[in-house]
A = this chain, B = another copy of it.
Amino acid sequence: MNDRDHLKGLGEFIRTQRELANLSLRQLADLAKVSNPYLSQVERGLYKPSAEVLKQIAKALHLSAETFYHQAGLLDEDVRNEAADAVESSIKLDPRLTPEQKETLIRVYRGFVGVDR
């Protein structure tokens, strides 16, 4: 098991978030005040960004720094799979969703993770 596997995960996570925000690599790099080649390398898992860079990226994407630290494995706690139930329960608790929409989302989610309840 490569030590840098979780790094790659972090990079993919950043790239996904960037694309969800419809930002180009250069745009995000400017917002986060890092060079674009460096961001490129981070997203491909070649380097692990410092916490400050993570913080800037988080800010640029309007996400919490905690989210990124967690993804980067920088927050000590529990590698528990409570994350799985977190998706379903947060869906169930979201007041903006109708019951039908909740059901749809959970179905899609379970299809992805292969849960069979």
> How big is chain A's contact interface, by range?
35 or more
Contact residues in B for A63 (Cβ distance below 8 Å):
78, 89
Q: A20-B103, A99-B13 are in contact. Are A59 and B78 (CB under 8 A)?
A: yes
Instruction: Give chain B residues whose Cβ lies under 8 Å from the Cβ of A1.
Output: none
Contact of B108 with A108 in the complex, beta carbons under 8 Å = yes
Indicate if the CB atoms of B51 and A99 lie closer than 8 Å: no
Do A112 and B97 contact each other (CB < 8 Å), given the known contacts A58-B78, A92-B17?
yes
Q: Which residues of A contact B (CB under 8 A)?
A: 9, 12-13, 15-17, 19-21, 50-52, 54-55, 58-59, 62-67, 69-72, 74-79, 81-84, 86-87, 89-99, 101-106, 108-109, 112-114, 117
